[in-house]
Structure 1
Amino acid sequence: MTMLAETQNLKIMVIDDSSTIRRSAEIFLGQVGYQVILAEDGFDALAKINDYHPDLIFCDILMPRLDGYQTCALIKKSAKFRNTPVIMLSSKDGLFDRARGSIVGSNEYLTKPFTKDSLLKTVRNYTAKAE
């Protein structure tokens, strides 16, 4: 199975203050062989990004301490990680949220609750370029 071999090297970070969302993403991504790094909020994520160098980052918008927009902006300001795709996660599917996500440099916007298919399709859109 060649797809599994390709996916094992890919590291995907999921930043969300909801343990349910983190767990769902971990299961969906782990089932196809991705390495999953979980973070509870922006501060947790920023500490882990340097250690793990994820290939793709899913970032919740509404989080305590450091929200998703601030987290994304900090990632995109980093010379080391500015080219890492960041996908915003939100339960709100508003034009304003999408626009604000674009302004801070996010690559895409995924509405929660996401399905396994939508999550994996989004990953494939970005990681196909990396493989």
Structure 2
Amino acid sequence: MDATGSDLRVLVVDDSNTIRRSAEIFLKQGGYQVFLAEDGFDALAKVNDCKPHLIFCDILMPRLDGYQTCAIIKRNASFAAVPVIMLSSKDGVFDKARGRMVGSEHYLTKPFTKDQLLQAVRQFGAKHDAQEGGV
């Protein structure tokens, strides 16, 4: 198994500069390519440009929240298979269920640790590795 992950592209969508920067640092230390978006509209523009293999998406954002952003991404045939992991400061059952309803694969509670973030990438980024292996 290739642990470098250097070809794996990860998009982090969060309106908090602090969360975006810490996620970027953790992910780059893990050897991943990182792209940042500050809200749902920014994310939708960047998804087409960077073609991420995995997306971390905050739930509470201005203009377009994480649920709406995830639903729009999942409705696009080109990105429907890209795993989306919701980020929230609340660890509620309702939030997790609602995230699954719009197509998210997983849920991380903020503040997350470097280990939690990298574990999620290893778990859900493996889909990308399996697809790339057959090409």
TM-score (norm 1): 0.95
CA distance in 2, matches of 1:74, 1:56: 15
1:42 counterpart letter in structure 2: G
Instruction: Write the mapping of 1:70-89 to structure 2, written as runs, cut at 5 A.
Output: 70-89=68-87
- 1:1-131 to 2 correspondences below 5 Å: 3-4=3-4, 7-131=5-129
Runs of 4+ that moved beyond 3 A? none
SS in 2 for 1:71: helix
Compute the displacement of 1:33 (Å).
1.1
1:86 CA displacement: 0.2
Number of residue pairs the alignment of both structures matches:
128
CA distance in 2, matches of 1:18, 1:86: 18
Q: CA RMSD in A?
A: 0.8
Mapped partners of 2:27, 2:100: distance in 1: 25
Q: Which runs of 5+ in 1 are unaligned?
A: none
1:21 aligned counterpart, secondary structure: helix
1:3 deviation in Å?
2.1
Aligned-pair CA distance for 1:129? 2.8
- Structure 2: any 5+ residue segments left out of the alignment? 130-135
Of all paired residues, the percent bearing the same amino acid is 70
**TM-score, normalisation: structure 2:** 0.93
